[in-house]
Amino acid sequence: MNIVEINALSKEYKVKKKRIRALDNLSLTIQKGEIFGFLGPNGAGKSTTIKILTDQIRATSGSATIFGIQSNKAEARRQIGYLPENPAFYDFMTAREYLSFTGKCFNMPESSLAERTNQVLATLDLLDAANRPLKGFSKGMTQRLGLAQALLHDPDLFIFDEPMSGLDPVGRAMVKKIIKDLKNKGKTVFFSTHITSDVEVVCDRVGILVKGRLVAIDSVEHIMATGIEGYIIQIRGQDNKTEEIKVSNSELNGVIARLLADNVKIERVNPVAHNLEDFFLDTIQAQVPTNESQ
Amino acid sequence: MQHFKLIFSATFVAIKRDRLLHALAGASLLLFLLVPVISMFSMRQVQELAITLFLSSLSFTLLIFSILLGVFSIWKDIEKRYIISVLSMPIKRRDYLLGKFSAIALFLMFTVCLMGIIGYGTITFAAHQYQSEIPVSWPNIFTAMLMSGAKYILLAAVALLFSVISTSIFLPITGTIGIFLAGSATQGLYEYINSGSGAQDISLTGQYVIKALYYLLPNFSAFDYQVYAAYTLALPLDTIFYTVCYWLIYTSFLLFCASIIFEKKEFR
């Protein structure tokens, strides 16, 4: 089942009488239970896509549906937990008051709201600050509250715009754990980032957006597998010294067979692979001539 | 309806906790308490002056509150990006806008009631200082207060409309003040050009402009019942009825326009 379906979505902004195309014919589907990472350099159109999905801005052309409902309908947002980029919340409220406000907006019953509020505050390590006005919250605390309000009503789809932004390493690890937990619960997560290491750790699939165009979309597993350039075989020689042999993909089987025939002890075989960052940079680099020629 | 109520109560809480409004309310209170003292300077019309001063002070307080709340309520949400968090929930933009406006309107009427209690005390005190030949008519005073409240609710609707049109603060503030000044003057100008000397003094184009402004802009002077309150004149009930109808239609029209514009607004 497609949780998110984006069809030929385009968005143009008018900046000083100039038309700027922020999103160019984007088509994308996100399946149930999938963790989808939306990668791209700054200004690639990641936030524009998310803003269209959450009805902050309207597409110039194309359409987007969430659970089969047009994304510009309020009803479509009922099953979304959304964390905006650099979130800001009513600063005259306390964290607990804001979560109560959020819960009521999602029609959560009063009976479960208080308990769930405490749960999410504890998960995001905000219990001690629960009754403090948001005016005094640091950027990291506000970001964590943003995650808390997204998790509160236990939706089926989470849309996070740069969820690690403003967080310290402990906070980042916490967010990664939350995303993994959501995956284990069968939830769908669509998140934007420009930090490839985050995607590598938590995502099932990744889409790369460059200048408003989706230039690559693949599973993280496949990207990592196709990025293998060769292998390093670690062996223990007859003089009990460790040696490393670098072989290409095609040579691997033959070399291993020969070593085994010679009774050489193979201690480890490590793939020499590109990481996701290399893939990301290569993909962006590949777009440069195309874009320049345009 | 649930979302309307939530935005309404959140806005009311924001108003209650706003320190600037606390300071302004304190200053207004001081102004009201000074009414009996200043009224003493009028040797014969202490009561009449006390009523006029009280209603003028109320009007000034409501003017400040309506501009501040009408202009800043939505503008601040947009400027500080609160609106992104709020509207990404399943809240209809129309409910958000009407919830905000209703909270502001209720707060203005709450101010009228609270100041009414204080006014009752200050006017009674002033009236006892120098017995007037005219009795104090509380129904007239309360009618003048309520009409004043209605006038500034209408002004808040004007401010709200400007704040959804513009992303800068300049247009909502200057636009609201400009509409208030023009809307308070059109009645007098309209009567002037319809008088013999006015028709001669002002060019035909000028007369058309004044007539156009008179029919287009909200007529704030229609809500002025100070004279009826100060001199206990018989209230023109039919005029009050038409003014209330005018207020309802004009306010609804402004909110309708604001709602259409807000529905199309993009939050980048």
pLDDT, residue A288, reads 63
Interface of A with B in 268-287 (CB under 8 A): none
Beta bridge partners of A266: A235
Binary contact (A80, B88; C-beta < 8 A): yes
Q: What percent of chain A has pLDDT over 70?
A: 97
> Can you read off the two tokens belonging to residue A93?
């409220």
- Residue A182, pLDDT above cutoff 80: yes
Band of pLDDT at residue A294, cut at 50, 70 and 90: very low
pLDDT, residue A171, reads 85
Handedness of CA B43, B44, B45, B46 (dihedral sign): positive
Please compute the mean of the pLDDT values over residues A268-284 and round it to a whole number. 78
Compute mean pLDDT per 10 residues along chain B, 268 residues long, and list them.
90 91 89 81 78 91 94 91 92 94 95 91 82 84 94 96 89 94 90 79 86 91 90 90 96 96 89
Q: Is A107 on the interface with B (CB under 8 A)?
A: yes
Band of pLDDT at residue A289, cut at 50, 70 and 90: low
Q: Report the residue from A86, A90, A105 with minimal CB separation from B82.
A: A90
Closest listed residue to residue B78, CA positions, set B93, B98, B95, B58: B93
Closest chain B CA to residue A147:
B85
Rounded distance, CA A41 to CA A30, Å? 21
Please compute the mean of the pLDDT values over residues A25-47 and round it to a whole number. 90
Please state the separation of Cα B148 from the chain's center in Å. 6
Which is higher by pLDDT, A63 or B203?
A63
Binary contact (A82, B88; C-beta < 8 A): yes
Closest chain A CA to residue B77:
A90
pLDDT, residue B69, reads 93
Closest listed residue to residue A153, CA positions, set A94, A82, A92: A82
- Residue A139, pLDDT above cutoff 80: yes
At the second CATH level, the architecture of A2-223 is 3-Layer(aba) Sandwich (3.40)
Q: Phi-psi bin for B264: left (phi > 0), alpha (psi -120 to 50), beta? A: alpha
Please compute the mean of the pLDDT values over residues A63-72 and round it to a whole number. 92
Please compute the mean of the pLDDT values over residues A127-139 and round it to a whole number. 91
Q: In a mutagenesis test of the A interface, which of B7, B12, B22, B84 is the best target, namely the one with the most A β-carbons within 10 Å?
A: B84
Please compute the mean of the pLDDT values over residues A112-125 and round it to a whole number. 92
> Can you read off the two tokens belonging to residue B24?
């302004």
Which residues of A fall within a CB distance of 8 Å from B14? 90, 92
Rounded distance, CA A49 to CA A25, Å? 11
Please compute the mean of the pLDDT values over residues A21-28 and round it to a whole number. 91
- Residue A82, pLDDT above cutoff 90: yes
In this prediction the ipTM stands at 0.83
Rounded distance, CA A200 to CA A223, Å? 10
- pLDDT mean across residues, chain A: 87
- Residue A268, pLDDT above cutoff 50: yes
Q: Is A92 on the interface with B (CB under 8 A)?
A: yes
Which residues of B fall within a CB distance of 8 Å from A58? 264, 266
Question: Burial of A183 by CB count in 10 Å (0-12 exposed, 13-18 middle, 19+ buried)?
Answer: middle
Question: Hey, where are the domains in chain A?
Answer: 2-223, 229-293
Binary contact (B91, A104; C-beta < 8 A): no
Please state, in angstroms and as integers, the Cα–Cα distance from residue A265 to each residue in A84, A161, A237, A262, A269, following that order.
54, 49, 7, 9, 12
